[in-house]
């Protein structure tokens, strides 16, 4: 049977939203075609207790030639910015190197003065007038010195393991000095339709091609250099490049840390001690830590496994809760990797799936170090993890589980962050995520009785309320009846079900502001909200058949990120501003840009919130948006860029000096029927689509945005 993606019927608000069927197949294994994994009867929300175009005005239009455009009418990361209001200790510089300091002109006023670009369907990256952009690195470019030149007709796993991987997602830029930095990128998934000429089906791929795909997953670390004194960056192409590194699903060894490491759930025939995992899968977003490492979230790992029907009967409910069907050998969207490595066959190795779905930590400044999977942070479909140092010195990591009706999590470390540049401090801080307390969120609204599923604002003029963090596990002590600490950490979704966590609309990126300590959550969409037998709208998820998503703002009590209670609100309810169900913090909606399906969030050095989108259900290409979150311009959302046809905007990352905006252009041209020979996008080289990382900067050298 062919694995070619099929067109899906359009029935109003489809479960797939605006994503193409090809993206649904490869990115998440047709997750929306399978039953919602959360079938728990835990209480629902209401039942809980207390531009214009740059690039010189001309862009490529594929085989049609050039098209002149004229439109009318209608840190990011824990190293960027100052300490939050709750007086956290200062973050250390990366050992052996100084941070890239802001220039004498400062980082700008924080005012977002760029003219927003209009929605479009162009096969190029579009930025405002006064800005330029360049591709930093793309699929197949060399990473490890000595990597062979990329040849789409002669791909090998050995070559791909030295080249930039496929479908870049998270982007982190860690400074070495004023002119050099390390780019760290996730490679979330592969699309064999668009990688291999002559592709017909997964079954027809050779074992070597499967191994190429495995090598194209994972992460890349690439040394960059600044171009002159501008905001442009490019890879260093000569010299030692001692930090350059590829981490793959094929061969990289990972160490398991924390209370679940070594537990019976994580032991396999190949690893009877349950402490070493080969590879990382479906790495989505992530974050940069105050001690100079990168966190990466393993997300839709379920699609890589087959043989759920042959797994032990007592294990099947747990596999189902993580989206692994147990009634067929080959679920829809299976990648057939067991042909290259039998560990992906659960009938033979039923515990292998438990070794994915973790938060991964990699030290880009130590290329010989072994990456780690931190079990103390729980196992879900992690979008990512972002860290802030609380006033007490404890490290707090915020995380979302990217699934319809799944949960929002927080981890608080047992140990305290040690400031300073010494190796003693660094060695200590590398242990911070190995032990602590894991919580899941429960929210209640102030106007629950007024929520009717249409998105109409309550009488008090806001979607808002209070919430509490429910303790799941602390160290080796479980707070969930009938579950050990190892159970809770390995099957964290089941623990959240048991304690009555709030079912959210796909909580993806969760990031605290380093300036204020406030936390922002991208709730992407949930077109199953309010369907028969599913949770209806509530105040935090106020629309049934929600195809556009919303942004949640969470403020911890007393400004303490370790607190166990908080207040929350929805400053942005996404969609067309002319739609009465949308909300932009009370700002004049005639002046805001339309936005749909928020995915990743980031902050610039002045505290503005930047939002990237995935699956724009308004008919335009996905893009990057910015808004103030404080003051009179709060809610004034403006579109900064759009990505090419079929692509998703990932990242984003704004450098500490506010001179450069990085985004990952993921899956360009991922449109049903496209192939290497018949591309739907020719970005970026004019031949066939290649995912890549882009940097944008102001031509006058001033801070971006302002």
Q: Is 153 left (phi over 0), alpha (psi -120 to 50) or beta?
A: alpha
DSSP E strands in 82-140: the ranges are 131-138
Determine the Cα–Cα distance for residues 405 and 535; give it in Å rounded to an integer: 8
Determine the Cα–Cα distance for residues 28 and 48; give it in Å rounded to an integer: 31
Determine the Cα–Cα distance for residues 431 and 337; give it in Å rounded to an integer: 33
Determine the Cα–Cα distance for residues 491 and 375; give it in Å rounded to an integer: 11
Determine the Cα–Cα distance for residues 379 and 374; give it in Å rounded to an integer: 9
Q: Reduced to 3 states, what is the DSSP secondary structure of residue 321? A: helix
Q: How many CA atoms lie within 13 A of 624 on its CB side?
A: 31
Q: What percent of the chain has pLDDT over 90?
A: 84
Q: Is the pLDDT of residue 61 over 60?
A: no
CA angle 477, 478, 484 (to 5 degrees): 105
C-alpha dihedral, 611 to 106 to 128 to 170, nearest 10°: -40
Average pLDDT across the chain, whole number:
89
CB 44 within 8 A of CB 329: no
pLDDT band at 33 (very low <50, low <70, confident <90, very high): low
| Among the listed residues 136, 132, 145, the one whose alpha carbon sits nearest the alpha carbon of residue 234 | 136
pLDDT of residue 34: 63
CB 554 within 8 A of CB 121: no
pLDDT of residue 447: 98
Determine the Cα–Cα distance for residues 467 and 464; give it in Å rounded to an integer: 10
CB 434 within 8 A of CB 374: yes
CA distances from 395 to 247, 390, 434, 475, 590 (A): 26, 6, 11, 15, 41
DSSP-based helix, strand, coil % in the chain, nearest 5:
15, 30, 55
pLDDT band at 40 (very low <50, low <70, confident <90, very high): confident
CA distances from 149 to 138, 145, 249, 684 (A): 13, 11, 21, 17
Determine the Cα–Cα distance for residues 114 and 634; give it in Å rounded to an integer: 16
Determine the Cα–Cα distance for residues 81 and 564; give it in Å rounded to an integer: 25
Q: Within 10 A of 663 (CB to CB), how many other CB atoms are there? A: 31
CB 659 within 8 A of CB 697: yes
- Mean pLDDT, rounded, for 358-378: 98
CB 673 within 8 A of CB 196: no
Q: Is the pLDDT of residue 15 over 50?
A: no
CB 478 within 8 A of CB 485: yes
More confident residue, 130 or 49: 130
More confident residue, 64 or 246: 246
pLDDT band at 143 (very low <50, low <70, confident <90, very high): very high
CB 524 within 8 A of CB 92: no
Q: How many residues are given for the chain?
A: 706
- Mean pLDDT, rounded, for 68-75: 25
| Among the listed residues 489, 543, 545, the one whose alpha carbon sits nearest the alpha carbon of residue 359 | 489
- Mean pLDDT, rounded, for 312-327: 98
pLDDT of residue 85: 35
What is the three-state SS of 619-669?
CCCCEEEEEECCCCCECCCEEEEECCCCCEEEEEEECCCCCCEEEEEECCC
- Mean pLDDT, rounded, for 445-453: 97
Q: pLDDT by residue (tens digit) across 648-675?
A: 999 999 999 999 999 999 999 999 999 9
Lowest mean pLDDT among 41-45, 262-266, 585-589, 695-699: 41-45
Q: Is the pLDDT of residue 17 over 70?
A: no
Residues 6 or more apart from 425 whose CB is under 8 A from it?
Answer: 92, 291, 418, 419
Q: CB-based burial of residue 150 (10 Å sphere; 0-12 exposed, 13-18 middle, 19+ buried)?
A: middle
Q: Is the pLDDT of residue 64 over 60?
A: no
CB 303 within 8 A of CB 333: yes
Which H or E element spans position 486?
A: helix 485-490
Which H or E element spans position 428?
A: helix 423-429
- Strand bridging mode 408-416 / 436-445: antiparallel
Question: 């079912």: which residue's tokens?
Answer: 503
pLDDT of residue 701: 95
pLDDT band at 456 (very low <50, low <70, confident <90, very high): very high
Give 135-179 as a DSSP string.
EEEETT-B-STTPPPP-TTS--HHHHTTB--SSEEEEEEEESSSS
Q: CB-based burial of residue 501 (10 Å sphere; 0-12 exposed, 13-18 middle, 19+ buried)?
A: buried
More confident residue, 441 or 73: 441
Q: Is the pLDDT of residue 57 over 80?
A: no
| Among the listed residues 695, 1, 669, the one whose alpha carbon sits nearest the alpha carbon of residue 334 | 1
End-to-end CA distance of the chain: 54
C-alpha dihedral, 482 to 486 to 489 to 492, nearest 10°: -30
Strands ordered across the beta sheet of 623-627 = 598-603, 609-613, 623-627, 638-642
pLDDT band at 14 (very low <50, low <70, confident <90, very high): very low
- Mean pLDDT, rounded, for 71-82: 28
CA distances from 111 to 54, 84, 608, 630 (A): 20, 20, 9, 11
Question: 């959360």: which residue's tokens?
Answer: 38
Q: pLDDT by residue (tens digit) across 243-273?
A: 999 999 999 999 999 999 999 999 999 999 9
Q: Is the pLDDT of residue 103 over 70?
A: no
Q: Is 493 left (phi over 0), alpha (psi -120 to 50) or beta?
A: alpha
Q: pLDDT by residue (tens digit) across 600-638?
A: 999 999 999 999 999 999 999 999 999 999 999 999 999
Determine the Cα–Cα distance for residues 314 and 48; give it in Å rounded to an integer: 31
pLDDT band at 32 (very low <50, low <70, confident <90, very high): low
Which H or E element spans position 415?
A: strand 408-416
- Mean pLDDT, rounded, for 198-214: 97
- Mean pLDDT, rounded, for 83-88: 34
Q: Within 10 A of 23 (CB to CB), how many other CB atoms are there? A: 24
Strands ordered across the beta sheet of 359-362 = 276-278, 253-257, 372-374, 359-362, 294-298, 283-288
């Amino acid at each position: 049977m062919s694995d070619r993606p099929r067109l899906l019927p359009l029935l109003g608000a489809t479960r797939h939203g605006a994503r193409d069927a090809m993206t649904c197949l490869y990115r998440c294994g047709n997750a929306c075609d399978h039953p919602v994994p959360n079938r728990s009867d835990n209480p629902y929300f209401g039942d809980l207790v207390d531009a214009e175009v740059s690039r010189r005005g001309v862009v490529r239009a594929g085989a049609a030639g050039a098209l002149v455009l004229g439109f009318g009418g209608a840190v990011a990361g824990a190293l960027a910015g100052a300490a939050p209001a709750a007086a956290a200790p200062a973050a250390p510089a990366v050992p052996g190197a100084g941070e890239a300091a802001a220039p004498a002109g400062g980082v700008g006023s924080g005012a977002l003065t760029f003219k927003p670009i209009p929605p479009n369907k162009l096969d190029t990256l579009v930025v405002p007038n006064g800005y330029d952009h360049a591709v930093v690195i793309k699929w197949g470019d060399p990473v490890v010195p000595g990597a062979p030149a990329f040849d789409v007709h002669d791909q090998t796993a050995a070559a791909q393991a030295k080249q930039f991987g496929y479908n870049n997602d998270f982007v982190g830029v860690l400074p070495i000095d004023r002119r050099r930095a390390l780019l760290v990128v996730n490679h979330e998934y592969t699309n064999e339709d668009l990688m291999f000429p002559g592709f017909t089906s997964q079954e027809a791929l050779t074992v070597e091609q499967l191994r190429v795909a495995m090598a194209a997953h994972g992460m890349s670390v690439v040394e960059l250099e600044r171009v002159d004194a501008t905001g442009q960056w490019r890879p260093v192409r000569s010299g030692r490049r001692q930090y350059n590194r590829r981490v793959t699903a094929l061969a990289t060894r990972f160490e398991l840390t924390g209370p679940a490491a070594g537990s019976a759930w994580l032991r396999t025939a190949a690893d009877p001690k349950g402490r070493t995992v080969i590879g990382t899968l479906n790495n989505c977003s992530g974050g940069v830590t105050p001690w100079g490492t990168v966190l990466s979230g393993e997300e839709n790992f379920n699609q890589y496994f087959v043989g759920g029907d042959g797994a032990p009967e007592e294990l099947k409910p747990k596999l189902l809760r993580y989206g692994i069907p147990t009634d067929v050998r080959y679920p829809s969207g299976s990648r057939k990797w067991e042909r290259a490595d039998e560990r992906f066959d659960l009938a033979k190795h039923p515990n292998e799936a438990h070794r994915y779905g973790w938060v991964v930590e990699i030290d880009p400044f130590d290329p010989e170090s072994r990456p780690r999977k931190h079990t103390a942070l729980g196992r879900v479909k992690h979008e990512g993890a972002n860290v802030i140092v609380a006033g007490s010195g404890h490290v707090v990591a915020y995380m979302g589980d990217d699934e319809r009706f799944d949960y929002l999590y927080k981890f608080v470390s047992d140990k305290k962050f040690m400031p300073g540049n010494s190796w003693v401090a660094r060695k200590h801080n590398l242990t911070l995520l190995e032990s602590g307390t894991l919580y899941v969120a429960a929210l209640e609204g102030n106007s629950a009785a007024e929520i009717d599923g249409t998105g109409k604002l309550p009488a008090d003029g806001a979607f808002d309320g209070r919430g509490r963090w429910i303790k799941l596990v602390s160290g080796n002590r479980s707070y969930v009846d009938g579950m050990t600490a190892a159970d809770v950490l390995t099957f964290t979704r089941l623990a959240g079900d048991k304690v009555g966590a709030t079912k959210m609309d796909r909580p993806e990126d969760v990031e605290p502001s380093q300036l204020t300590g406030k936390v922002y959550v991208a709730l992407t969409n949930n077109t199953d909200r309010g369907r028969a037998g599913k949770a209806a709208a509530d105040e935090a998820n106020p629309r049934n058949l929600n195809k556009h998503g919303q942004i949640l703002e969470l403020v911890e009590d007393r400004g303490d990120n370790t607190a166990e209670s908080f207040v929350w609100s929805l400053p942005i309810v996404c969609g067309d501003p002319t739609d009465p169900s949308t909300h932009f913090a009370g700002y004049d909606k005639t002046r805001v840009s339309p936005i749909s399906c928020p995915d990743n969030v980031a902050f610039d050095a002045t505290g503005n919130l930047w939002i990237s989108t995935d699956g724009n259900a308004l008919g335009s290409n996905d893009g990057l948006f910015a808004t103030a979150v404080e003051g009179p311009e709060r809610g004034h959302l403006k579109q900064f860029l759009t990505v090419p046809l079929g692509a998703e905007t990932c990242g984003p990352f704004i450098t500490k000096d506010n001179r450069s905006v990085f985004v990952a252009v993921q899956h360009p041209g991922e449109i049903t029927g496209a192939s290497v020979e018949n591309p739907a996008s020719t970005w970026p080289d004019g031949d066939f689509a290649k995912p890549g990382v882009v940097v944008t900067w102001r031509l006058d050298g001033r801070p971006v945005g302002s």
